Structure 1
């Protein structure tokens, strides 16, 4: 008897290091048990945010060597972070549009990797357009915002995060019951998934 895939809802932003780490660990968990990922948009620095101050930039710079070492040790990846202080709304819209083409998961991963491994500006329409083209679809309308469906999808995700009281990401809900905050160790994710799956089978 096949084990049904457990639904996992994740609110995240592509420029959040903990979101990328969390995504990679969730992919590891998916090698152990079937999971049905539902990614939701969250913006750490939406349009209109004040410029990132010097103290925040210094803190990020000081944390980068630790992050670099962690990514290399745990995942074998060398990071090259994209620019700070960017608006990721268009990237989230592109992902929303990609889901209608069955390329959602691949585009989601590509956006993380474009920013964290290739140092690209994922607010740049040219960068986003290249991601879309590589995955076989035209993302022009989603990137520009003229595609109302993708914009509405992002707006709904952001509103739902606010309704749930999520102030930081990643925010992960296993089986629509168990909430886990942050890029927790794989064992924590596995435990939450096990509990959610056990309850759903009752």
Structure 2
């Protein structure tokens, strides 16, 4: 999916966080949203993912203006096309690793449902093979980050929105996460990453400097 912001501005609490930002995120590559702390990287990511409305400008998906999407239309986009890996990982600690991948359970909540084989393949790809029955709360921070990516792989989303995916990770987990995100893009998906990590930025094919009205560097 081609995700675009066209001259968007956002004010939060009376402060202008984004001022005329434009960015074009193409399928098949990773786009890095970079900038100093407080520059609005996460805000821009949330706008592109339809998590946060814009005050001015427009958000386009595959050439269609989705700026004023209804709540129901946004939910359909999130359900059918998007996956999010945010800074808190979005992991439910009290549930199993398997449930955190499929997000489906039997009506009584006692048995994980969904495509079991696909779930196991997603865990294998992220280095969590054989851990589906463990409680997610037992995982380390790096493992939770990889579990969030396993969920995105399982979902086979068209576009992946990622916020600071390598923050606080050790070198081994950082390399693994970058490798997984790169593979996601190579498979034709759109990957949009908010980051200040130079190694993560170096792995991206496009970059947008938030706060300077700069355009993509391809």
TM-score range, shorter-chain basis? Answer: under 0.3
TM-score with structure 1 length normalisation?
Answer: 0.26
TM-score with structure 2 length normalisation?
Answer: 0.25
Greater fraction of residues in helix: 1
